[in-house]
């Protein structure tokens, strides 16, 4: 069988997380981790060089935070899908991540159940937010009087 593997760049400064992601993706069989890096600046360099299909990106990174890295990655690798995977639960951060072009946001604590669905949604061009975070995010969006289209986008991404 000659199927095309989804090429994934993993960006996180925690080595145990790299191992978890590599194992999870290896078990899913249709993914190839092409590189693992631990800081935002290197993420931008590797995204430009490798042009991966998917980038799993943390928020809190050395040298350049994940939000700034995502903005720069959009410029150098516009076809790469970005899925944030972080423990940061701030509605402002989630909103900024989605505004910066990410397809979704998965909480690391929910990755056991949400990582693969989040990846599949991102690859299909759909928005995804971890279910345990989505309720809080909707409340923050409503109380912040953001556009109704935001709410509809987010609700459609909840599984």
Mean pLDDT by 10 residues, the chain (159 residues): 84 91 89 96 98 97 96 97 94 88 92 93 91 63 40 44
Kindly state the DSSP code that residue 29 receives in the 8-state scheme. S
Is 104 in contact with 121 (CB distance < 8 Å)? yes
Tell me whether residue 1 is in a domain.
no
What's the whole-model pTM score?
A: 0.84
pLDDT value, residue 137 = 54
The CB density around residue 140, as the number of other CB atoms within 10 Å, is 15
CATH number, domain with residue 149: 3.40.50.2300
The rounded distance, in Å, linking the Cα atoms of 75 and 5 is 24
Of the candidates 45, 49, 69, the one whose C-alpha atom is nearest the C-alpha of residue 57 is 69
SS3 80: coil
pLDDT value, residue 154 = 46
pLDDT value, residue 81 = 97
pLDDT value, residue 26 = 87
Of the candidates 41, 42, 24, 103, the one whose C-alpha atom is nearest the C-alpha of residue 33 is 24
Count of the separate structural domains present in the chain: 1
Q: Residue 98 sits in which domain range?
A: 6-157
pLDDT value, residue 73 = 97
């Amino acid at each position: 069988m000659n199927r095309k593997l989804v090429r994934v760049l993993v960006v996180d400064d925690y080595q145990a997380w790299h191992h978890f992601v590599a194992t999870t993706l290896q078990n899913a069989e249709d993914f190839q981790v092409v590189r693992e890096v631990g800081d935002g600046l290197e993420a931008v360099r590797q995204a430009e060089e490798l042009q991966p299909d998917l980038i799993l990106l943390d928020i809190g990174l050395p040298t350049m935070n994940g939000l700034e890295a995502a903005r720069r990655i959009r410029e150098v690798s516009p076809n790469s899908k970005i899925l944030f995977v972080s423990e940061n639960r701030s509605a402002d951060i989630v909103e900024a991540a989605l505004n910066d072009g990410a397809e979704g946001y998965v909480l690391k604590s929910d990755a056991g159940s949400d990582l693969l669905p989040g990846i599949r949604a991102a690859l299909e061009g759909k928005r995804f937010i971890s279910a345990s975070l989505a309720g809080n995010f909707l409340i923050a969006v409503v109380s912040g009087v953001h556009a109704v289209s935001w709410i509809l986008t987010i609700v459609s991404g909840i599984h």
